[in-house]
Amino acid sequence: MTHGRRADSYTPRPDGAGGPRDTAARYALLPLRIFLGVTFVYAGLDKLTDSAFLKDSGAGSIGDMMRAVRDSSAIPALVDMALESPVGFGYAIAFGELAVGIGTLIGLLTRIAALGGALISLSLWLTVSWAAEPYYYGNDLPYLMAWTPLILAGAPLLSVDAALRARRRRGTF
Protein backbone atom coordinates (compact mmCIF):
# COMPACT_ATOMS: atom_id res chain seq x y z
CA MET A 1 0.00 0.00 0.00
CA THR A 2 1.37 3.42 -0.91
CA HIS A 3 -0.83 5.63 1.32
CA GLY A 4 -1.75 7.96 -1.50
CA ARG A 5 1.73 8.12 -2.97
CA ARG A 6 2.95 6.70 -6.23
CA ALA A 7 4.63 3.35 -5.72
CA ASP A 8 7.79 4.52 -7.53
CA SER A 9 8.25 7.71 -5.47
CA TYR A 10 8.78 6.54 -1.90
CA THR A 11 9.44 9.20 0.73
CA PRO A 12 9.74 8.39 4.44
CA ARG A 13 7.02 9.85 6.63
CA PRO A 14 8.23 13.02 8.38
CA ASP A 15 6.66 12.00 11.71
CA GLY A 16 8.95 8.98 11.92
CA ALA A 17 6.06 6.52 11.97
CA GLY A 18 5.75 3.78 9.46
CA GLY A 19 7.00 0.39 8.58
CA PRO A 20 10.34 -1.19 7.90
CA ARG A 21 11.15 1.10 4.97
CA ASP A 22 10.78 4.17 7.17
CA THR A 23 12.90 2.58 9.88
CA ALA A 24 15.60 1.61 7.37
CA ALA A 25 15.58 5.13 5.92
CA ARG A 26 15.97 6.69 9.38
CA TYR A 27 18.88 4.43 10.33
CA ALA A 28 20.59 4.32 6.91
CA LEU A 29 23.57 6.46 7.90
CA LEU A 30 24.26 4.69 11.18
CA PRO A 31 26.46 1.89 9.72
CA LEU A 32 28.49 4.46 7.78
CA ARG A 33 28.86 6.60 10.89
CA ILE A 34 30.05 3.63 12.95
CA PHE A 35 32.49 2.46 10.27
CA LEU A 36 34.04 5.88 9.68
CA GLY A 37 34.11 6.73 13.38
CA VAL A 38 35.80 3.48 14.41
CA THR A 39 38.21 3.64 11.47
CA PHE A 40 39.32 7.20 12.21
CA VAL A 41 39.67 6.55 15.97
CA TYR A 42 41.75 3.48 15.16
CA ALA A 43 43.86 5.39 12.60
CA GLY A 44 44.56 8.20 15.06
CA LEU A 45 45.45 5.85 17.91
CA ASP A 46 47.57 3.71 15.59
CA LYS A 47 49.63 6.73 14.58
CA LEU A 48 50.00 7.96 18.17
CA THR A 49 51.17 4.58 19.45
CA ASP A 50 53.46 3.68 16.54
CA SER A 51 57.03 4.26 17.72
CA ALA A 52 58.30 4.69 14.14
CA PHE A 53 55.55 6.86 12.63
CA LEU A 54 56.02 10.07 14.59
CA LYS A 55 59.65 10.57 13.60
CA ASP A 56 61.36 12.82 11.08
CA SER A 57 63.15 9.92 9.42
CA GLY A 58 63.56 6.17 9.49
CA ALA A 59 61.59 3.19 8.28
CA GLY A 60 57.86 3.80 8.71
CA SER A 61 58.28 7.47 9.68
CA ILE A 62 55.95 10.25 8.57
CA GLY A 63 58.97 12.20 7.33
CA ASP A 64 60.21 9.43 5.02
CA MET A 65 56.68 8.74 3.80
CA MET A 66 56.14 12.40 2.90
CA ARG A 67 59.51 12.62 1.15
CA ALA A 68 58.67 9.46 -0.83
CA VAL A 69 55.34 10.83 -2.14
CA ARG A 70 56.44 14.43 -2.68
CA ASP A 71 57.18 14.23 -6.42
CA SER A 72 54.15 12.06 -7.25
CA SER A 73 51.56 14.09 -5.31
CA ALA A 74 49.00 16.34 -6.95
CA ILE A 75 50.10 19.27 -4.78
CA PRO A 76 53.82 19.02 -3.94
CA ALA A 77 53.61 22.36 -2.09
CA LEU A 78 51.25 20.72 0.42
CA VAL A 79 53.84 18.01 1.04
CA ASP A 80 56.57 20.65 1.32
CA MET A 81 54.51 22.40 3.99
CA ALA A 82 54.15 19.12 5.91
CA LEU A 83 57.88 18.49 5.55
CA GLU A 84 58.66 21.73 7.38
CA SER A 85 57.66 19.84 10.52
CA PRO A 86 56.85 16.21 9.70
CA VAL A 87 56.44 15.19 13.33
CA GLY A 88 54.09 18.12 13.99
CA PHE A 89 52.16 17.23 10.85
CA GLY A 90 51.96 13.59 11.99
CA TYR A 91 50.57 14.66 15.37
CA ALA A 92 48.07 17.00 13.68
CA ILE A 93 46.80 14.21 11.43
CA ALA A 94 46.64 11.71 14.32
CA PHE A 95 44.78 14.06 16.70
CA GLY A 96 42.57 15.24 13.83
CA GLU A 97 41.61 11.65 13.02
CA LEU A 98 40.93 10.96 16.68
CA ALA A 99 38.71 14.04 17.08
CA VAL A 100 36.85 13.30 13.84
CA GLY A 101 36.33 9.66 14.83
CA ILE A 102 35.06 10.42 18.33
CA GLY A 103 32.79 13.21 17.10
CA THR A 104 31.37 10.92 14.42
CA LEU A 105 30.83 7.97 16.76
CA ILE A 106 29.00 9.92 19.45
CA GLY A 107 27.34 12.26 16.98
CA LEU A 108 28.71 15.50 18.42
CA LEU A 109 28.98 18.33 15.89
CA THR A 110 28.67 15.57 13.33
CA ARG A 111 28.63 17.74 10.22
CA ILE A 112 31.78 19.53 11.38
CA ALA A 113 33.44 16.21 12.27
CA ALA A 114 32.48 14.82 8.86
CA LEU A 115 33.88 17.91 7.15
CA GLY A 116 37.11 17.38 9.09
CA GLY A 117 37.18 13.75 7.99
CA ALA A 118 36.59 14.77 4.39
CA LEU A 119 39.39 17.36 4.54
CA ILE A 120 41.81 14.81 6.02
CA SER A 121 40.84 12.30 3.33
CA LEU A 122 41.15 14.95 0.62
CA SER A 123 44.60 16.01 1.78
CA LEU A 124 45.77 12.39 1.93
CA TRP A 125 44.31 11.68 -1.50
CA LEU A 126 46.04 14.70 -3.06
CA THR A 127 49.36 13.75 -1.49
CA VAL A 128 49.86 10.16 -0.36
CA SER A 129 47.51 8.15 -2.59
CA TRP A 130 47.43 10.46 -5.65
CA ALA A 131 49.81 8.24 -7.63
CA ALA A 132 47.75 5.06 -7.14
CA GLU A 133 46.95 3.64 -10.54
CA PRO A 134 44.25 2.97 -11.39
CA TYR A 135 42.82 5.64 -9.12
CA TYR A 136 40.45 3.23 -7.35
CA TYR A 137 43.43 1.39 -5.79
CA GLY A 138 43.94 4.41 -3.53
CA ASN A 139 41.74 4.30 -0.45
CA ASP A 140 41.54 8.01 0.40
CA LEU A 141 39.15 8.96 -2.41
CA PRO A 142 36.43 6.49 -1.29
CA TYR A 143 36.80 7.79 2.27
CA LEU A 144 36.35 11.33 0.96
CA MET A 145 33.14 10.30 -0.80
CA ALA A 146 31.92 8.35 2.26
CA TRP A 147 32.07 11.49 4.40
CA THR A 148 29.74 13.39 2.02
CA PRO A 149 26.40 11.95 3.28
CA LEU A 150 27.36 12.76 6.87
CA ILE A 151 28.29 16.31 5.89
CA LEU A 152 24.87 16.69 4.29
CA ALA A 153 22.70 14.88 6.84
CA GLY A 154 24.62 14.91 10.10
CA ALA A 155 23.58 12.35 12.71
CA PRO A 156 19.82 12.63 13.07
CA LEU A 157 19.51 9.60 15.37
CA LEU A 158 21.41 8.08 18.27
CA SER A 159 23.66 11.09 18.67
CA VAL A 160 24.51 13.91 21.03
CA ASP A 161 23.39 16.30 18.28
CA ALA A 162 19.91 14.71 18.22
CA ALA A 163 19.65 14.78 22.01
CA LEU A 164 20.60 18.46 22.12
CA ARG A 165 18.12 19.25 19.33
CA ALA A 166 15.35 17.45 21.27
CA ARG A 167 16.19 19.39 24.45
CA ARG A 168 16.06 22.70 22.57
CA ARG A 169 12.66 21.79 21.12
CA ARG A 170 11.33 20.96 24.60
CA GLY A 171 12.77 24.22 25.94
CA THR A 172 14.82 22.47 28.64
CA PHE A 173 18.14 23.70 27.36
pTM value is: 0.85
Residue boundaries of the structural domains of the chain: 31-154
Q: What is the 3-state secondary structure (H, E, C) of the chain?
A: CCCCCCCCCCCCCCCCCCCHHHHHHHCCCHHHHHHHHHHHHHHHHHHHHCCCCCCCCCCCCHHHHHHHHHHHCCCHHHHHHHHCCHHHHHHHHHHHHHHHHHHHHHCCCHHHHHHHHHHHHHHHHHHCCCCCCCHHHCCHHHHHHHHHHHHHHCCCCCCHHHHHHHHHHHCCC
- pLDDT tens for the chain, residues 1 to 173: 445 554 445 455 555 567 888 888 889 999 999 999 999 999 999 999 999 999 999 999 999 999 999 999 999 999 999 999 999 999 999 999 999 999 999 999 999 999 999 999 999 999 999 999 998 888 999 999 999 999 999 999 999 999 999 999 888 65
